[in-house]
Amino acid sequence: MNLDFSGGKRRDLFTQKLSPLKVIVVFALLLLQIAPIHLPRAHASGLGTISGTVTGPESQPLEGIEVECWDDWGIKQSSTSTASDGTYALRGLDTGSYLVRFSDPSGTYAYQWFDGKSTFDGATPVDVTAGEETENVNAQLSPGGAIGGTVTDASTGGPIEGIEVLAYEEIGGFFYIDAGVTTTDADGHYLVGGLPSASYKLKFLDLYNRYVGEWYHDKGSFGTATPVAVTAPDTSTADEDLMSKGTISGTVTGPESQPLEGIEVECWDDWGIKQSSTSTASDGT
């Protein structure tokens, strides 16, 4: 589960000046890392379990369906896959409430939240008691919808291969959780399948650092991204064009204006995050 609290921006902790009090706090934390305090925890046999069966539209058992559960803090606590008879068991759970999701890695069937819900916000919590098994947390999956399209170069119109396309489901109007991911082929085509009927936001990232990443449609953040509505089992279309990244170039020389080879050149953005690095060639460029 991906919860983005930072808006995609952060500063390097070590670029900030520390007050004497902060120095003491940091030192204390380092000591805890060296000599951690071990709190007692229940043995695995005393933890709870969620179990059930996943079937398809014709009530046939589905093998290989991914089953995951999150606690009420939005932290994934356990995951597993269904056996050949469609059964599964999520073990090692503390007492509490969990949200369970069933996903088909092949994209044939729409993912589903317990109990038969299409979104995280609408999911029915499953209560677990340590040392006991919560049974019959079942799911019957139906054919999934999809989002597909073509990613092209904004300047040339040519297709772009190797662009990662991520679909996200919104949570509570503030955060988001991954709903699917794929990569464009040589023709720039992509297809994110296994989606239930809902609205999603897409992010496009270049795995090879050639193009500027963005949200659909030419947006800079999750909050401003244009939602894409899906009605399963249909496929919605969402094409995107990306701008190629800029380049900084120059020549590095020594005291006698001689070109210097092997000089490391790096650049950081205004948030203190390194964005690129390289070394000079034999002619100093």
3-state secondary structure of 183: strand
Least confident of 5-14, 73-82, 98-107, 252-261: 5-14
Q: What is the pLDDT of residues 212-270, one digit of tens each?
A: 999 999 999 999 999 999 999 999 999 999 999 888 999 999 999 999 999 999 999 88
User: Does residue 109 belong to any structural domain of this protein?
Assistant: yes
Of 140, 171, 197, which one is at a domain's C-terminal end? 140
What is the domain count for the chain?
A: 3
Can you give the pLDDT at residue 172?
76
Cβ-Cβ contacts under 8 Å for 279 (sequence gap 6 or more): 262, 263, 264, 265
In a shared domain, residues 54 and 132: yes
pLDDT at position 25 over 80? no
Q: How confident is the model at residue 45 (pLDDT cuts 50, 70, 90)?
A: low
Mean pLDDT for the stretch of residues 25-31: 47
In a shared domain, residues 133 and 179: no
User: Does residue 3 belong to any structural domain of this protein?
Assistant: no
User: Does residue 37 belong to any structural domain of this protein?
Assistant: no
User: Does residue 12 belong to any structural domain of this protein?
Assistant: no
pLDDT at position 183 over 50? yes
User: Does residue 277 belong to any structural domain of this protein?
Assistant: yes
136: left (phi over 0), alpha (psi -120 to 50) or beta: left
In a shared domain, residues 50 and 134: yes
In a shared domain, residues 52 and 95: yes
Can you give the pLDDT at residue 74?
79
Of 124, 140, 156, which one is at a domain's C-terminal end? 140
In a shared domain, residues 235 and 258: no
8: left (phi over 0), alpha (psi -120 to 50) or beta: left
- Residue bearing the bigger pLDDT, 23 or 216: 216
User: Does residue 268 belong to any structural domain of this protein?
Assistant: yes
pLDDT at position 70 over 70? yes
Q: Which residue has the tokens 């670029």?
A: 15
Q: Are 195 and 180 in contact (CB under 8 A)?
A: yes
pLDDT at position 26 over 50? no
In a shared domain, residues 118 and 149: no
Considering only CA atoms, give the Rg of the chain.
24
Mean pLDDT for the stretch of residues 52-56: 98
Least confident of 45-54, 156-165, 196-205: 45-54
In a shared domain, residues 191 and 275: no
Q: Which domain holds residue 149?
A: 145-242
Q: What is the pLDDT of residues 267-284, one digit of tens each?
A: 998 888 888 899 999 999
In a shared domain, residues 99 and 63: yes
Total-model pTM: 0.72
Which CATH number fits the domain that encloses residue 62?
2.60.40.10
- Token couple for 17: 């000046």
Q: How confident is the model at residue 199 (pLDDT cuts 50, 70, 90)?
A: very high
Q: Are 126 and 133 in contact (CB under 8 A)?
A: no
Q: Are 215 and 223 in contact (CB under 8 A)?
A: no
User: Does residue 21 belong to any structural domain of this protein?
Assistant: no
As a whole-number percent, the residues of the chain with pLDDT over 90 amount to 72
In a shared domain, residues 70 and 104: yes
pLDDT at position 14 over 70? no
pLDDT at position 91 over 90? yes
Of 140, 168, 191, which one is at a domain's C-terminal end? 140
Mean pLDDT for the stretch of residues 41-49: 64
Which CATH number fits the domain that encloses residue 203?
2.60.130.10
